A and B are shown apart, each in its own frame.
Chain A
């Protein structure tokens, strides 16, 4: 089912944002706050899109609208040809917070989606154990989330996400609390898992290197109200090795370009503050 993006003809977009604006009631007073504005963006099935921008630029808003948690104020979000209305159960969420249930052991946490689907306990346990093995948590299945490290909780959270097997993964700065090495390991694992399982991924980050290393393309956002400054195609091999990517000159070029886009923004930001 999965085709290599380098040689396949252009696929119809799985996800499309068209003319999206989202405003919220301002926390104080009765004004409104524009989170994102004029966003047009498409993503093909099986690709990884990184969404890069400063904190608070409304990146997460896009994920929430794709998950159907709320609707855009203006514009339409389309998923597989149909407008998103109500929760989009084909998507799965993972955020900075792992959202594991602290009263369940790792195994029972990973098993939760199978329980929801009504799978018999024995086969649910067997499948959960496979996923625990896949994310390298074997031996910790009987620990409570509070007993394992932050990185292990991330892995458990990822295993649970894979257990309910959504087509599209919405990842909102999932690795932000991890140290650099662990983060790299998780990024590599995520990319290889997503490729192997043919997942479509929207990955929100404010880390330029992460955006360049993980994505097939990267949408660079401006500060609030968030607009797309540019969508950059990341022409690195689909089966790139994240561990050695830093030595790749193409990677350096792409990261430099993203850095330029991001800092240009803050340079302009500073100028506009001063004037």
Chain B
């Protein structure tokens, strides 16, 4: 079952690459889409010269730092606002307004405020990540069963004990949903920042190679971005597993049914 799944995935992936290779030069000019073979060649060049890792390191740093900053602030604000019902009601339309704004539109302003170095990309990434994690943490805190809290208050638990024993762990599931959802956005933040203003990072590499009609180079950079995204996701999943072991049990149970 599992093995045949991997097999079909492999078939699909190889088929896609073959189609790309065949189409390149025959249906579409390689100037536009390059070809898998050319991309692989360019990728190994970029790896060999160390250029790819230099850029990838910078992008990874920006994405992770922005992600940590944004989600850290978001979790705290989400916990606080989740408890302060009245304040949350007052702020609700503003939060939703900010939520519906495509954060990319803010990028030029961030350049004006914070310049074009790494701190701008980190802050921009943090802003992008913040809302997703905040909204999830907030709804997580709000969804903690009031009955559950009452049961603990009747045991004599103080507010702090209720928060520590019930609310924070209950919200954790939601926090991780937010973290997983926002991980790709962290990369978006960093890459957009680099494309708009910068001379380092994978976003810059995509922009530069494209401008030079080095399509294979652009695709090579994109491969690196995808890899980074997958690694980021795996890191969050591993963290989730170690912080919430009971979730795994639930998953195992679901499979057993």
| Chain A binding surface, main DSSP class | loop
Q: Of the candidates A97, A116, A147, which one forms a contact with B155 in the assembled complex, judged by CB atoms under 8 Å apart?
A: A116
For the complex formed, measure the closest distance between the CB of B172 and the CB atoms of chain A, giving whole angstroms.
8
> Cβ of A101 < 8 Å from any Cβ of B?
yes
What residues of chain B lie closer than 8 Å to A225, measured between beta carbons?
none
> Cβ of B28 < 8 Å from any Cβ of A?
no
What residues of chain B lie closer than 8 Å to A88, measured between beta carbons?
154
* Cβ contact within 8 Å between A103 and B169: yes
What residues of chain B lie closer than 8 Å to A116, measured between beta carbons?
152, 155-157, 161, 165
Task: Give the residue among B147, B151, B156, B165 with the most A Cβ atoms within 10 A.
Answer: B151
What residues of chain A lie closer than 8 Å to B156, measured between beta carbons?
89, 113, 116-117, 164
What residues of chain A lie closer than 8 Å to B161, measured between beta carbons?
116
* Cβ contact within 8 Å between A147 and B253: yes
For the complex formed, measure the closest distance between the CB of A252 and the CB atoms of chain B, giving whole angstroms.
37
CB-CB under 8 A for A101 and B154, given A146-B249, A147-B249: no
Instruction: Look across to chain B and name the residue whose beta carbon is closest to the beta carbon of A108.
Output: B165
* Cβ contact within 8 Å between A99 and B154: no
> Cβ of B150 < 8 Å from any Cβ of A?
yes
* Cβ contact within 8 Å between A93 and B154: yes
Q: Of the candidates A87, A104, A166, which one forms a contact with B153 in the assembled complex, judged by CB atoms under 8 Å apart?
A: A87
What residues of chain A lie closer than 8 Å to B84, measured between beta carbons?
none
> Cβ of B177 < 8 Å from any Cβ of A?
no
Q: Of the candidates A99, A146, A147, which one forms a contact with B151 in the assembled complex, judged by CB atoms under 8 Å apart?
A: A99
B164-184: which residues lie under 8 A (CB-CB) from chain A?
165-166, 169-170, 172
Per the CB 8 Å criterion, the residue count for chain B at the interface is 22
B70-94: which residues lie under 8 A (CB-CB) from chain A?
none
* Cβ contact within 8 Å between A102 and B246: yes
* Cβ contact within 8 Å between B148 and A99: yes
B220-238 to A contact mask, C-beta < 8 Å, 1/0? 0000000000000000000
Instruction: Look across to chain A and name the residue whose beta carbon is closest to the beta carbon of B254.
Output: A146
| Chain B binding surface, main DSSP class | helix
CB-CB under 8 A for A69 and B155, given A101-B165, A144-B246: no
* Cβ contact within 8 Å between B157 and A93: no
> Cβ of B244 < 8 Å from any Cβ of A?
yes
What residues of chain B lie closer than 8 Å to A69, measured between beta carbons?
150
Q: Of the candidates A92, A95, A112, which one forms a contact with B165 in the assembled complex, judged by CB atoms under 8 Å apart?
A: A112
Instruction: Look across to chain B and name the residue whose beta carbon is closest to the beta carbon of A95.
Output: B147
* Cβ contact within 8 Å between A164 and B246: no
> Cβ of A91 < 8 Å from any Cβ of B?
yes
* Complex alpha-carbon distance, A166 and B155, angstroms: 8
* Complex alpha-carbon distance, A219 and B250, angstroms: 41
B241-256 to A contact mask, C-beta < 8 Å, 1/0? 0001010011001000
A64-101 to B contact mask, C-beta < 8 Å, 1/0? 00010100000000000000000111011101010101
What residues of chain A lie closer than 8 Å to B169, measured between beta carbons?
101, 103
What residues of chain B lie closer than 8 Å to A103, measured between beta carbons?
169-170, 172, 244, 246
Q: Which residues of B approach A to under 8 Å, CB–CB?
A: 145, 147-148, 150-157, 161, 165-166, 169-170, 172, 244, 246, 249-250, 253
Extra pairs beyond A116-B156, A146-B253, A147-B249 (17, CB < 8 Å): A67-B154, A87-B153, A87-B154, A92-B154, A93-B151, A97-B147, A99-B145, A101-B165, A101-B166, A102-B250, A112-B165, A113-B155, A113-B156, A115-B165, A116-B161, A117-B156, A144-B249
19 interchain pairs, CB-CB under 8 A: A87-B154, A93-B150, A95-B147, A97-B145, A97-B147, A99-B151, A101-B166, A101-B169, A102-B246, A103-B169, A103-B172, A103-B244, A103-B246, A115-B165, A116-B152, A116-B161, A116-B165, A146-B250, A147-B249
The 8 A-B residue pairs whose C-beta atoms are closest, nearest first, are A164-B155, A144-B246, A103-B246, A103-B169, A99-B151, A144-B249, A113-B155, A116-B157
